[in-house]
Amino acid sequence: MLIIRGCVLALLPLLLGACGAIGAIAANADREGTHKVPASVRALEGRSFAVLVQADRSIQGEHPLLLEYLTRNITQRLAASDNTPRASGFVPADEVLKFTYDSPSWPLKSKAELSQALGGVERLVIVELIEYRLHDPGNRYVWDGRAAATVSVFEGSASTSELALTEKSLSVGFPDTIGQDEEMLNVRVVNSALAQRLIDRAAWLFYDHEEPNAIKY
């Protein structure tokens, strides 16, 4: 019995080491894995939709291509058959952008007017940018990207169409590590990553999807 106990005691460090290694592998696999997240907005099912993006003049002036980029990419994500297969149709981004360029005061129009101008679309997905910056206002040498928006869905032709069917607030940032400057990351990387995170969060509202377990935004 003493010999057996001695053998067990001798093997105990090895056993604990193996358990620790297995635990570390499992934890690493969990961090690198994904999990399913259901859609939180179902307002597009069986309906046609159009995506419109708006922002104040200061954001547009500093990022003149941003609204077009967001409009195209969010529309593309929502129009993909794997994402919102039960939507009955959508207005292509080119048509939406032409309308917004030709009618710069479109945010002042009623939702019924917007719907009619876009071919009688049944749902209006309006993304209003509240904030979009790449630096902290007090330090233009260090990256501190922040984007905040409200995503609202309106019914196009109902008498209550000025009331949102649903409204969600979003906020994302990039980079995840503080103190990074232009020598570490160039402006194109920061701008692209921040916009893509905003697109992800806006589009993910509308369809079941998988997110990385260790997602940071």
- What pLDDT is attached to residue 163? 92
Q: Rounded to the nearest 5°, which phi and psi values hold at 55?
A: -155, 160
Q: Which of 201, 192, 198 is nearest to 131 (CA)?
A: 198
Beta carbons of 93 and 100 less than 8 angstroms apart: no
- The model carries a pTM of 0.84
SS3 state at 119: coil
Query: Which domains are assigned to the chain?
Result: 36-212 (3.40.50.10610)
Q: How would you label 84-109 residue by residue, b for 16+ Cβ within 10 Å and e otherwise?
A: beebeebbebeebbebbeeeeebeee
Q: pLDDT by residue (tens digit) across 85-136? A: 678 999 999 999 999 999 999 999 999 999 999 999 999 999 999 999 999 8
Q: pLDDT by residue (tens digit) across 148-205? A: 999 999 998 777 778 999 999 999 999 999 999 999 999 999 999 999 999 999 999 9
Q: Is the pLDDT of residue 63 over 90?
A: yes
